[in-house]
Chain A
């Protein structure tokens, strides 16, 4: 089960955070700060998997943004989640057309909506980009009208 999904930039500023178990604001800030420091200290030759505070962490870097998933330590397929991160980025890229950090900052509710379509209750429910973006296109059409 996924416990949290984060998008954090190199300065340690969180651009998107989805937690599937409740943590206080202080706990979240501490966790995010520690995670980004750990990810920044790793080189490109090192693997994208590590353990931190009882979570299995899978991360991937896209330009200045780190996409970080935290899971339970029990048996999980890290490779599948690494590919899911790429799937998420491709979906965001398809919607925003050449997605960047600012797109996520200025359209934060849409980024959250796309993520909620893909992950529910810590489980991946949809990976098809068309299916994920269909409801949001309906909303955009309704808004334009």
Chain B
């Protein structure tokens, strides 16, 4: 400690000087200024003059607000807490929370200081209690518990309220202190009339309930007494909040509160109290219709209010309704408020609908959100819509046909992120797998979505997803449009057998457009395999060869436009296949690969020139025993081969019968599909529509056999 000379005191900087200098100092000189100031403070805080120390303390405060570390001053501040000057003590106590934490070594020194302060005047005592409430740790709270308990009976309400507030921290830090002491505090609170003290008491009960919820019976009577007679809004808010906790622990308490809640709801104008009551009623009083209705009316006012804070709180309240029927009641108001809401509130509303949409409001919800999506919230809206559609294996979807042909194309157009494109793809695959009859509409779906893609030239704009193929290590990038494009191509490829000739022709004509081929370069191999599937299907279904030449020309045009070398290599086989115009040659290829090749083909020698000097009539084998062995094995082989051939013939006859039955079934299915398409094209909405059953079992859906899957795999 040292004494500043008069000269030094003249040049002593006060807080105001430091503040002014800080504001005028440039950013580059700030560090120098701060270092210099801290050095001055370190000197001044050890001065004997209280005014100097006080100024140092204030400057320390300011530096802490500026973001400087002042923990080095812990010992000095604790020292100042024991000072004789009240102003210094107060400053030190206020600064304590900046330098002291639970593990500070200096807390041991503070105990006696606090005990001494508790015996002083009410102002010193109250400031000490405030400081204790901020810095208390387990040891300090155990040491000072008895003193604090004594202060709860002080004549001054200021002291009583702060003592109870400190007790809530002591009981939270060490719940062992509760037993024996809590009952005493409750008895005092039952006689208490000061609102602030009672409010602190209710906060104490809340803290105890967190740590020891089984003690709730001690609080029931006092809470009920206060809620029936109090008029202070702040206290009532605390009482309603603690009542929520008590109701969850003791449901019978709910019945006692109905009358008081009704009275408060009708009388109060305070929005915060109304909100607290509505929140409690929505969560716990659903069975009491009259109260629930009155709360619902006020909630509707909140949802329609001009103040965005009240709208936000109204939405938060609705999350506790937890039933779809409950949400339906407020649906109109919620959707109206969506139009005016900010991004955060829109997310809240989307979350609500994600949780509570059902079959009844499914169409309304989808149509509304598709209509009111904007740039900022579009990706979240699409994500939520896909979630609502796919929730619980399409439990909300009652009309899969309408979903596929009307809503899904609109959703596809609005997708602008890769994540949503992947979700969309998965949704589409799952929908078409679970609902067997929908694959027939795959070409219409493609047309509707891809028409927009053809007109827009922004092919690779936006973020892209980098993909490395496993078997080829080929790297390419996809944006969201291309992901959807690939998935649609794949879907059409899988439904080729169900589509009509006209539909298949339209698809090839669409793909012929040069801008499609240029835009979706990474998907050319998918387009390639689709063309191959379409071509094979057309060959099977066009026995009279009417459309095949047209199709072949279209496919040739496509390959002419392709300049990508890798695609040319892959399509070499297809091109040569197309050049074989006769069907018989294709059949020959098939026969070639179906039969087993014999070990020696006598006719091969016609084309293979034997080497010079080789005598074909001369036998290789000189050993007669070996020759006989070979003859025997050959004869055994020939016998076995005959048996195998007989078996194969029997199998062929069986499979021919099956094929005939399949063809008959296909013809029947085609007829049914034509009738369905007619109905849709007429845009009539007949009540007895074909009911699409969504298969929600995890096994294979009906209409799909293991053989079909094998065939698809073989073809691919």
Interface residues of A (CB under 8 A from B): 13-20, 22, 25, 28-29, 42-43, 45-50, 75, 77-80, 82-83, 105-106, 108-109, 112-113, 116-117, 120-121, 123-128, 131, 134-135, 138-139, 142-143
Contact = CB atoms under 8 A, between A and B. Distances in A.
Contact of B94 (A22, A109, A139): A109
Contact of A124 (B66, B158, B234, B344): B234
B28 to A, nearest CB: 17
A125 B196 contact: yes
A47 B123 contact: no
A142 B343 CA distance: 53
Nearest to B19: A105
Interface of B: 15-16, 19, 57-58, 61-62, 64-69, 71, 86-87, 90-91, 94, 97, 101-102, 123, 126-127, 130, 133-134, 158, 161-162, 165-166, 168-169, 196, 199-200, 203, 234, 237, 241, 244, 271-272, 275-276, 279, 308-313, 342-345
Given A17-B64, A79-B272, 11 more contacts: A47-B342, A47-B344, A75-B241, A75-B244, A77-B276, A79-B275, A105-B19, A112-B61, A113-B127, A124-B234, A143-B87
6 contacts: A47-B309, A105-B62, A106-B19, A121-B165, A123-B168, A131-B158
Nearest to B58: A109
A14 B65 contact: yes
Given A46-B344, A106-B15, A18 B97 contact: yes
Contacts of A83: 272
A77 B237 contact: yes
A38 B158 CA distance: 38
B94 A112 contact: yes
A113 B158 CA distance: 14
A6 to B, nearest CB: 10
B65 A108 contact: yes
Contact of A47 (B66, B234, B308): B308
B585 to A, nearest CB: 70
Contact of A46 (B62, B68, B90, B342): B342
Given A25-B69, A50-B344, A124-B234, A79 B271 contact: yes
B342 A43 contact: yes
B308 A46 contact: yes
Contacts of A127: 234
A14 to B, nearest CB: 5
Contacts of B64: 17
A58 B445 CA distance: 47
A19 to B, nearest CB: 7
B196 A123 contact: no
Contacts of A106: 15-16, 19
Contacts of B69: 25
Contacts of B199: 124-125
A112 B129 CA distance: 15
Contact of A120 (B16, B162, B311): B162
Contact of A116 (B62, B101, B130, B343): B130
A18 B97 CA distance: 8
B165 A20 contact: no
B165 A47 contact: no
A105 B516 CA distance: 66
A47 to B, nearest CB: 4
Contact of A109 (B61, B162, B166, B200): B61
Contact of B67 (A29, A42, A112, A139): A29
B102 A120 contact: no
Given A48-B309, A105-B62, A128 B276 contact: no
Nearest to B169: A121
A28 B65 CA distance: 10
Nearest to B135: A22
A78 B165 CA distance: 21
Closest 6 CB pairs of A and B: A46-B342, A79-B272, A22-B101, A47-B312, A80-B272, A47-B308
A42 B308 CA distance: 12
A60 to B, nearest CB: 10
A45 B342 contact: yes
Contacts of A45: 308, 342
Nearest to A83: B272
B168 A121 contact: yes
A116 B94 contact: yes
A78 B315 CA distance: 13
A138 B101 CA distance: 30
B241 A108 contact: no
A47 B272 contact: no
Nearest to B199: A125
A45 B203 CA distance: 34
Given A108-B61, A120-B165, A135-B158, A47 B126 contact: no
Contacts of A109: 57-58, 61, 90-91, 94
A17 B70 CA distance: 14
Contacts of B313: 49, 78-79
Nearest to B122: A135
A80 B237 contact: yes
A128 B123 CA distance: 17
Nearest to A126: B196
A125 B65 contact: no
B20 to A, nearest CB: 9
Contacts of A134: 158
Contacts of A17: 64-65
A16 to B, nearest CB: 7
B272 A121 contact: no
B296 to A, nearest CB: 18
Contacts of B309: 47-49, 78-79, 82
A128 B706 CA distance: 78
Contacts of A15: 65
B311 A47 contact: yes
Nearest to A84: B234
A53 to B, nearest CB: 16
B342 A135 contact: no
Contact of A108 (B62, B134, B237, B342): B62
A101 to B, nearest CB: 11
Contacts of B165: 120-121, 123, 125
Nearest to A139: B123
A113 to B, nearest CB: 6
